[in-house]
Amino acid sequence: MITYQDFLKETNTAVFLSRLISDHNASSMVQTAHDADLYDRRKNRTINEYVQKMYTLSGLAVQDYTASNNKLASNFFNRLNTQRATYSLGNGITFNSEGVKERLGIDFDTRIMEGGRLALIHGLSFVFFNVDRVHVFPLTEFAPLWDEETGALRAGVRYWRIDPEKPLQAVFYEEDGYTVYRAQSGSNLEIAEEKRPYRERVRIVPADDTPEVIGGDNYGALPIVPLWGSRLHQSTLIGMQQQIDSYDLICSGFANDLEDCAQIYWLLENYGGMTDADMARFRDRLKLQHIAVADTTEGRVTPYTQELPTTARQAYLEMMRSRIYEDFGGLDTVSFSAGQKTATEIQAMYQPMDEQADDFEFQIIEAVQAILRLIGIEDTPIFKRNRITNQLEQVQLVMMEADVLDSETLLRKLPNITDDEIPDILAKRDAEGGGRFTTEETEEVFDV
């Protein structure tokens, strides 16, 4: 593992960065992240690399080209990670203080959603605060330099190339600025732009509107913060891959059996003179052309069929589906189709998901607070979880508490109103109230 202290000992930064990128790409965490990307795109690695095999007389395994090889990839990984990310971040993040989100950028919620989902898939993503907005770097494109003593992120290089034949682009981020590097195909990294501060002050000359840099400063700390997907610091693919592979293999195998009619076989009588190779060719002819020549005076070919074991496979698939959702802590929406659910029943169904969301949101809080400290703000993000509810029952319960709640709290508890809508609703209520209620002048009468 290459650390920040190793970087301090180097004299040639370009050579060091090349070695850092190479070691990072070869790490087990990045290799797992690449596999996770395949599962996220429904290109499940195991099932797509699976090949039907048969054995020769010598016991050698060879590919069976006559057998069907359906490859049915499930979408569990994409769906469950998306479900966990949107559950906590689908309604955006709010803060106690006014104007915080404006300083973080108008697309802050979108970027944090992107970073959170990548953190689940890869195990880790990186959030870069750039003056008035945030950017997200995936683990597969950012090589970090951790401090050996504190474990803090002290520097890192973001790298990418749009094609293997195109130049490698790299930006080295340090606490006192960033430097741009570039390398042509097959060559070493070279400086393309000298180190610059993160925040620059520019002056525009009216004559030609050309900006002129007149100064700059930094944040006092690296403006890139790590965003972990969980306290385990690993991809959600770990432990889940085997279950998904098992489900895919059973589904694909069932489809292959239906297509190949693998449960149909033949008995050949009085064909003792045929060699194993002759019988294999005879079988292949029956499977491929559905016709073969048989001498009915001396021999007979009798086909036999057998029902496919549908019940056992269906039971196994249902068990695996339930186990995948249970182990991940996800919510299987099939359970909601059994009938109308009460609020208590829905709450119980969400319990495993809430437990995982608590862990995930803790990682989000740490990352967001680290960003806020860069601009001198102390606040804590507030989440509104995106869940299915019995809205009628929940609204009735909230309205029963209306007498003891203020207007803002009441609106926040209503399930069909988002946090972003609350300020506008309160403002409109105040405006309507000011026009609706008037003060009448009263005339006092005294007896003389």
Rg (CA), the chain: 32
What letter would DSSP give residue 434?
A: H
Burial class (CB in 10 A: 0-12, 13-18, 19+), 319: exposed
In the chain, where the domains are located: 1-256+310-388, 265-304, 391-439
pTM: 0.77
What sign for the dihedral angle of Cα 359, 360, 366, 369?
negative
Q: Which residue has the tokens 């490859």?
A: 71
3-state DSSP helix/strand/coil % of the chain, to nearest 5? 45, 20, 35
pLDDT in tens, the chain (448 residues): 899 999 999 999 999 999 999 999 999 999 999 999 999 999 999 988 887 666 666 767 777 666 667 888 999 999 999 999 999 999 899 998 888 988 998 899 999 999 999 999 999 999 999 988 999 999 999 999 999 999 999 999 999 998 888 899 999 999 999 999 999 877 889 999 999 999 876 666 666 666 655 557 788 899 999 999 999 999 999 999 999 999 999 888 887 776 666 556 665 666 666 777 877 777 777 666 656 666 556 666 666 565 667 788 889 999 999 999 999 999 887 766 555 666 677 777 888 899 999 999 999 999 999 999 999 999 999 998 877 665 666 677 778 877 777 888 888 777 777 777 888 888 888 877 643 334 344 444 444 3
Q: Contact, 120 vs 360, CB < 8 A? A: yes
For 141, what's the count of Cα atoms within 13 Å in the CB-facing half-sphere?
18
> How is residue 22 written in tokens?
């190479």
CA distances from 246 to 44, 252, 439 (A): 11, 10, 74
| Dist CA 163 CA 142 (whole Å) | 17
Q: Reduce the DSSP state of residue 273 to 3 states and report it.
A: coil
CA distances from 385 to 88, 236, 363 (A): 5, 20, 16
- What single string gives the DSSP state of each residue in 155-204? EEEEEE-SSTTSPEEEEEEETTEEEEEEE-TTS--EEEEEEE-SEEEEEE
